[in-house]
Structure 1
Amino acid sequence: MLPSGRECFPYAYRTHQDANVTVTPVYRLDRGTRIGYSAGSLVNGAFGTVPGLLLLPYLTDTLAVAAGLAGLLVLLPKAWDVVLNPIAGRISDRTTSRWGARRPYLLVGGLGTAVTFAALFAGPFSGSAGAVYVTVAFLATATTFAFFQVPYVAMPAEITAGTTDPYAARTRLMTWRIAVLALAILASGAVAPALRDAAGGGLAGYRVAGLAVAVLIAVGALASFWGTRRAPVGTVQESEPSLRRQLAVARANRPFALLLACFVVQAVGIGVMLAGTDYVAAGPLGDSSATSLLFVCFVGPALIVMPVWERVGARIGKRSGYVIASAVFAAGGLLIGLAFLAGSVLALVLVATAVVGCGYAGQQVFGLAMLPDTIAADEAVTGRRQAGVFTGLWTGGETLGLALGPGVFGLVLQLGGYRSGVDAGDQPDSAHTAIVLGFSLLPAVIMLVALPLLRRYDLTPARLSALTSGES
């Protein structure tokens, strides 16, 4: 429920003349709030991109940790979030403050993430001691990020609940958010490797890159906290007391369960491709500087196609748009494989990567726009707003999927005979083959395998309108 009273909403109003009718404020989601909320994607983009891109090669090539073990070390701290994120959601659901239930965590969790991220790549150790340090620091970073991410993802359901057309408003808000997310991925994913190399690589290079990304995270946290100061905060309600009860709530919400399962499986594919970027550049492409080029081609087109995906969703629906975007991603992955068969021509690989980026942009827009729909549907059926419950499970699942990606890619490297601590040019041919397959075919297959999970997803605009109006 939204707080009543004109003073709570500095927006446009519609009034009802019937004194027997309870009037719900209807407001316009202004541009300042959209930009402010979207700024939080600087935190998401940096944390979601850089560890998946640099942490595995940092462990294998700089600290000389075996590929299989390195993949496990990347996975374990993020797997912790599967348990922690629902707890963070439950805590934010119960929080009462003058800033609302969610905004305090944008500040505390976001700045905490910046500090711990800088520490992640600032370790004074190498070898096994360095691996232990990275594991502990990554665990701390994942913990602070959980307390930013879960409340942040919960906010759209509350921000859009009183708009004239919440279904469309969520797509519009997510379009802005994914555009900023694309910029964050571009800034962090392309610049961090370049800064590492410019600083001479090795431990010193990674420290410089980590500090730069930490600054970006801090900027995103402060901007999102300040930019959402006029957004509706919703009504704080008692949340489910245990993870078991939260899982039961999620299972009862079939659209949410189906969407979550699809999104998590696809996150594994995205994580696999992300983890392979640095290896593809240094190995099969033979140019470590190509890491930044791959990221530019992955993210750059997304900034252009965002309005296209919004129009696609308005014309054919979010679910159909999601399926098409996923198919575009998979097609790009297959094209990357064909480009390597054609002789590892850099230009062809970059074009195919741009196709992947177009699909990724749509997959993120529609997935994150459908999530608030499932939360609104649950509130209509149960009478309870449990955004923290659903977003805690959502972010925990997404984090696990993205963390499994490097683990899977590390296993692919292990099976391919990859030798840690050895220059890319000295790797066996089987390792190069494993890198190419892990970067192209495997993510494409994972993306497509998940789509049948959406067959029974039925939250169309008409269905959602019927639920929220009490007709069904």
Structure 2
Amino acid sequence: MADTFLPSRGLRTGFGAGALGATLSSGVVPLLFLFYLTEFAHVPPALAGLLLAIPKFTDVVLDPWLGRWSDRWARRTGSRAALLAANALLLPSMLVLLFIPAGGLPLPLRVSVIGVLLVAQSLIFTVFSVAHTAIASDITDTIAGRSTLMSARALGQTFAGLTVSMLAPQLVGAFGSGAGGYLAMACTLAAASALALGLCWLAVRRTPLAVGVETKAAAPLLTALRSTLRNRAFYCVVLILVLLGTSSTALFAALPYANQHLLKAAPEHLSTLLTPIFVALLVGVAAAPALTRRMRPNVVLAAALSTALAGIVWFAAGPRENTSMIAAGVLFGLSCGMLTVLISTLAMEAATHSSSQGESLGLYLGILFSAEKLGQSLGGIVVGFGLEWVGPLQGTPAPEAVRRLGLLFVSAPAAALLAALLVLLPFTACTGAHSIKEHNA
């Protein structure tokens, strides 16, 4: 059985290191890869947006199957640790391969190669995420213990995001600002990722499989998926996760363009805008557990979503200068930090409750991570097609193109957050946040 006590500090640190390493190997893609594709790989903007979206739509189809497959692998080996060990090698390698210059290849071949690599990276990341998140229920069987591990996971992700936002633009600039600079940046982050993933494996390698695999003859995948639809709390949280991912990905994908054409700043200046966002994310992650102990989680969800929307509106209403945009980013980051902990914990609780009745925990987590990636893909699609609407930005862009870029920069993330608030209102009675809290009271 899983341990009923809180995980030790060393175990929490190792578990958080896994999230740190995985995010170091994947966080550059939503942050800089669209800009890299259009500016250095010479892929047309709309095609680049679709290219980034294809792996996510592949995930929507394959992630539930991969999650269920990871359960079967764990049942055969007696632990989820072997999957974590494999990913300690695969994820950093995929990051390096994505940034190998391919500009000399014909466009169809170039797009095909990049597309295959993006799909492979995304599927490998799913296998890691399912095994890493599910092993939390093997470590501890209490809500407090799982919440502690989910907080460590969120802290690892946030530290990685902060590291990427601070160092990635600086590394690109230090290594030459061209395609070679991006490759050197990828190699540096990949080395750090491999180290963190290795530390995670060392911490959890002796954790035996305890819960989460199907206890009866496995039903066909479609039948098992239909059974999950009874868990309305889980799907309420999932829908909010999709919309939050759409908003944040759209903001980060558009930010390099806003930095260059709205602020007239060099690529290194991105660190000035991104670092406060991720520092605020850390504060939000730290504050979330205390807030949820004092307030109903659905109230915290509504407040955090409203605060994030206020940050986006500030981007629109405030002047195009560092102080104002940093303040808006801090407001957005603070709310996203709270949402990161709250959504992951509530989704995990809803999924674990169903898995205790014989359903596959990996299946639920596969659905969760496919939803997360769907939100990211929708954000990339919106920005990719939005850039086509904006018009050419190379050289000295036309004033109308700059005006449209400013509108896209704000409206895309704001619309997704507003939709999340509208989704939350009619489902308050059955939202996972409220239902799970009552169930476990």
Report whether the alignment pairs 1:132 with 2:132: no
> Which structure has the greater CA radius of gyration?
1
Aligned residue type for 2:203: G
Most deviating of 301-310 and 327-336:
301-310
Given that residues 12 and 152 in structure 2 are in contact (C-alpha distance below 8 angstroms), is that contact kept between their aligned partners in structure 1? yes
1:388-415 CA deviation, whole Å, 9 max, x = no partner?
0100011011112112211110111111
Match of 1:338 among 280, 301, 317: 317
Q: Which secondary structure state, in structure 1, belongs to the residue aligned with residue 27 of structure 2?
A: helix
Aligned to 2:339: 363
Aligned pair count reads 431
- Amino acid aligned to 1:139: V
Task: Output the amino acid matched with 2:338.
Answer: G
Equivalence for 1:16 = none
User: 1:401 maps to what in 2?
Assistant: 375
Counterpart in 2 of 1:158? Answer: 138
The one-letter amino acid of 2:438's match is R
8 A contact 1:121–1:206 mirrored in 2 = yes
Paired residue type of 2:192: L
Which residue identity does 2:300 align to in structure 1? Answer: G
Task: Please tell me the residue identity of whatever aligns with 1:136.
Answer: V
Give the alignment of 1:306-325 within 5 angstroms. 306-325=285-304
TM value normalised by structure 1: 0.85
With over 3 angstroms needed to count, the CA separation of the structure-2 counterparts of 1:223 and 1:98, relative to structure 1, is: farther
Stretch of structure 1 that moved more, 216-225 or 63-72: 216-225
Match of 2:128 in 1: 148
Give distance in 1, aligned partners of 2:234 and 2:417: 18
By how many angstroms is 1:103 displaced?
1.8
Match of 1:183 in 2: 159
Q: How do residues 117-128 of structure 1 correspond to structure 2 at under 5 angstroms?
A: 117-126=95-104, 128=107
| Greater displacement, 389-398 / 126-135 | 126-135
**Contact 2:6 2:145 (C-alpha < 8 Å) held by counterparts:** no
Counterpart of 1:374 in structure 2 is 350
| Change in CA separation of 1:101 and 1:427 when aligned onto 2, cut-off 3 Å | farther
* Alignment check: 8 A CA contact 2:284 2:336 kept: no
Equivalent residue number for residue 430 of structure 1: 400
State the partner residue of 1:252: 230
Do the aligned residues in 2 keep the contact of 1:265 with 1:401 (CA within 8 Å)? yes
What do residues 40-62 of structure 1 show as CA deviations (whole Å, max 9, x unaligned)? 11234234521111111111111
Q: Which of 291, 311, 323 lines up with 2:270 in the alignment?
A: 291
Partners of 1:237 and 1:377 in 2: how far apart?
Answer: 13
Whether contact under 8 Å (1:45, 1:185) holds in the other structure is yes
Cα distance per residue 1:187-213 (max 9 Å; x no partner)? 123211221122112221111111122
Q: Show structure 1 runs of 5+ residues with no match.
A: 4-8, 10-25, 467-472
Q: 1:307 to 1:144 in 2, by over 3 A?
A: closer
Contact 1:158-1:232 at 8 Å conserved across structures? yes
- Residue 390 of structure 1 aligns to a residue in which SS? helix
Determine if contact 2:18/2:132 at 8 Å carries over to the other structure: yes
SS at 1:450 equivalent: helix
Equivalent position of 1:205 in the other structure: 181
1:263 alignment partner AA = L
**Hey, what's the Cα distance between the residues in 1 that align with 2:203 and 2:296?**
29
Give per-residue Cα distances to partners, 1:336-368, cap 9 Å, x unaligned.
1112xx2x1111111111111101101111000
From 20, 23, 39, the counterpart of 1:61: 39
Output the amino acid matched with 2:347: L
The structure 1 residue matched to 2:67, chosen from 62, 84, 89, is 89
1:13-51 per-residue CA deviation (whole Å, 9 max, x = no partner) reads: xxxxxxxxxxxxx32322222111111112342345211
Task: Give a deviation string over 1:207-242, Cα, whole Å, max 9, x none.
Answer: 111112222321232122112235463144358554
**Which residue type is aligned with residue 308 of structure 2?**
F
1:312 Cα deviation from its structure 2 partner:
0.5
Instruction: Determine what percentage of the aligned residue pairs are the same residue.
Output: 25
Alpha-carbon RMSD across the aligned residues, in angstroms, is 2.2
Confirm or deny: 8 A CA contact 1:85 1:150 kept in the other structure. no
Report the Cα distance in structure 1 between the residues aligned to 2:35 and 2:385, rounded to whole angstroms: 14
Query: Is contact 1:63–1:131 with CA below 8 Å preserved after alignment?
Result: no
CA distance in 1, matches of 2:40, 2:370: 29
| Bigger mean CA deviation after superposition, 409-418 or 436-445 | 436-445
Aligned to 2:280: 301
SS of equivalent to 1:201: coil
Q: Which moved more, 1:228-237 or 1:292-301?
A: 228-237
Q: Evaluate the alpha carbon distance shift between residue 125 and residue 182 of structure 1 in structure 2; reply closer, same or farther with a 3 A threshold.
A: same
1:216 matches 2:196: no
Which amino acid letter does the alignment assign opposite residue 156 of structure 2? V
Unaligned runs of 5+ residues in structure 2 are none
Aligned pair in 2 of structure 1 residues 243, 290: CA closer, same or farther (>3 Å)? Answer: farther
Task: For 2:325, give the aligned amino acid.
Answer: V
Report the Cα distance in structure 2 between the residues aligned to 1:324 and 1:209, rounded to whole angstroms.
37
The aligned residue for residue 28 of structure 1 is 6
- What is the CA deviation profile of residues 58-81 of structure 1, one whole-angstrom value per residue up to 9, with x for unaligned ones? 111112221111111111123212
Match of 1:19 in 2: none
TM-score of the two chains, using structure 2 as the length reference: 0.91
Is 1:50 aligned to 2:28, yes or no? Answer: yes
CA 1:231/1:320 → structure 2, altered by over 3 Å: closer, same or farther? farther
Match for 2:365: what amino acid?
T
Post-superposition shift, 1:116? 1.4
Distance 2:77 2:11 in 1: 15
- Alignment partner of 1:391 is 2:365: yes
Deviation for aligned residue 1:427:
1.8
Cα 1:416–1:460 shift into 2, 3 Å: same
- The answer to whether the 8 Å contact 2:245/2:372 transfers is yes
Distance across 2 between alignment mates of 1:298 and 1:435:
21
SS at match of 2:176: coil
In structure 1, how many angstroms separate the alpha carbons of the residues matched to 2:163 and 2:311? 22
Q: Which digits, 9 at most, give the CA deviation of each residue in 1:128-163, with x for residues without a partner?
A: 1433332222222222222212222223333331x3
Offset at residue 302 of structure 1 (A): 2.1
Is the alpha carbon distance of 1:246 and 1:444 closer, same or farther for their aligned partners in structure 2, counting shifts above 3 Å? Answer: farther
2:22–2:197 contact (8 Å) kept in structure 1: no
**Is the partner of 1:27 in helix, strand or coil?**
coil
Letter of the 1:360 counterpart:
C
TM superposition shift of 1:243: 4.0
Q: What secondary structure sits across from 1:63 in the alignment?
A: coil
Where 1:29 maps in the other structure, the secondary structure is coil
